[in-house]
Amino acid sequence: MARSSFSITLDKRGLDAAIDDNLNRQLPFIVSRALNDTAKNARDALRTAMPQYFDRPTPYTMNSVRITYATKSRLAATVGYKDESFKGTPATKYLLPEVEGGNRSVKRMEQSLRRIGLLPADMYVVPGSAARLDQYGNVARGQIVEVLAYLQAFGEQGYRANMTGKRRDRLARGVKGAMGYSYFVLRRREGKLLPGIYRKQHYGNDARIAHLAYGAAKPVFIFVNTPRYAPRFPFDNIVGGAVSANLDANTAAAFALAMSTPKR
């Protein structure tokens, strides 16, 4: 009698072992790929959220998020702020108080003013009504340089680190002679004028120094007590939300990629 069927069998133990071996070899790639893709999602979420919490954030601020990527030998990815800067203030110094709360860090201009004794050690500067603001709402760098040149406040860590004393003096004299107005500093309140740096316009040949006519003075910077920030940028919540929303899908995508290609 002819057979009507044929039984096919497979040694599942060998297949399971082969699958387990391949998966174990691919696992570091799967995990590191999923972590890195999720870190990128978190970075994008932070960038998207910044304009909702900060007034006109600069490109420097928008690009301040750093990823430390996972590798197959180090299965951890981190998302944080850059803590160094070739020029300007590192993001950690001015953004962390917005995340965690606390005192604002000291700016370079404030360091320069303190060094020459014009800004009390326990005070900071904020823009006044005569400050020229850039498109991001910050005091224009040109005006900061002008004020520091006038006050001869360029120092070792200031805006002109390599400027000699003679060059600094010539620049200050040039600013005084060409701009048609002068600056003066009030370290303590004078009538209605708060402590700060003021600008006084000169008219014609009237070269009287500004502090003889407070009434026409306009504040460029006001001296204030230590600014203290309440936490307002929910960094952890934003990153946590991005991880919850993307990690599973990124892991599945990394697994599919690993299984469809040779060992990574």
Q: If we measure between CA atoms, which residue out of 33, 119, 105 comes closest to residue 69?
A: 33
Cα 247 to Cα 25, 36, 82, distances in angstroms: 21, 10, 24
Q: Are residues 61 and 123 both part of a single domain?
A: no
Q: Are residues 111 and 210 both part of a single domain?
A: yes
Tally Cβ neighbours within 10 Å of residue 111.
Answer: 15
The pLDDT tens digits of the residues spanning 115-160 come to 888 898 889 999 999 999 888 888 998 899 889 888 875 544 444 4
What's residue 16's pLDDT? 58
Q: Find all residues with CB under 8 Å of 215, minimum gap 6, and list them.
A: none
Q: Are residues 222 and 243 both part of a single domain?
A: no
Q: Are residues 91 and 191 both part of a single domain?
A: no
What's residue 12's pLDDT? 56
Q: Are residues 28 and 116 both part of a single domain?
A: no
CA angle 60, 63, 67 (to 5 degrees): 140
Asked if the structure places residue 135 within a domain, the reply is yes
Q: Are residues 111 and 216 both part of a single domain?
A: yes
Asked if the structure places residue 168 within a domain, the reply is yes
Name 165's bridge partners.
Answer: none
Q: Supply φ then ψ for residue 214, to 5 degrees.
A: -60, -30
Q: Are residues 62 and 124 both part of a single domain?
A: no
What's residue 197's pLDDT? 93
* Among 17-21, 54-58, 72-76, the least confident range: 17-21
What's residue 250's pLDDT? 95
What's residue 226's pLDDT? 84
Q: Are residues 81 and 20 both part of a single domain?
A: yes
pLDDT grade for 5, boundaries at 50, 70 and 90:
low
Asked if the structure places residue 4 within a domain, the reply is no
Domain count, the chain: 2
CA dist., res. 150 & res. 146, Å (int):
6
Produce one character per residue of 212-233: b if its CB has 16 or more CB atoms within 10 Å, e if not.
eeeeebebbbbbeeeeebeeeb
Q: Are residues 214 and 173 both part of a single domain?
A: yes
- Residue 61 vs residue 175, higher pLDDT: 61
Q: Are residues 143 and 212 both part of a single domain?
A: yes
Quote the domain boundaries for residue 54. 12-97+230-260
* Among 105-114, 166-175, 236-245, the least confident range: 166-175
Asked if the structure places residue 3 within a domain, the reply is no
What's residue 34's pLDDT? 93
Q: Are residues 188 and 246 both part of a single domain?
A: no
The pLDDT tens digits of the residues spanning 192-222 come to 889 999 998 766 554 444 444 455 789 999 9
Q: If we measure between CA atoms, which residue out of 30, 57, 46, 52 comes closest to residue 79?
A: 46
What's residue 23's pLDDT? 65
What's residue 160's pLDDT? 45
The pLDDT tens digits of the residues spanning 21-55 come to 666 778 888 899 999 999 999 999 999 999 998 88
CA dist., res. 49 & res. 91, Å (int):
16
Asked if the structure places residue 2 within a domain, the reply is no
pLDDT grade for 100, boundaries at 50, 70 and 90:
confident
- Residue 202 vs residue 230, higher pLDDT: 230
What's residue 87's pLDDT? 60
Q: Are residues 215 and 168 both part of a single domain?
A: yes
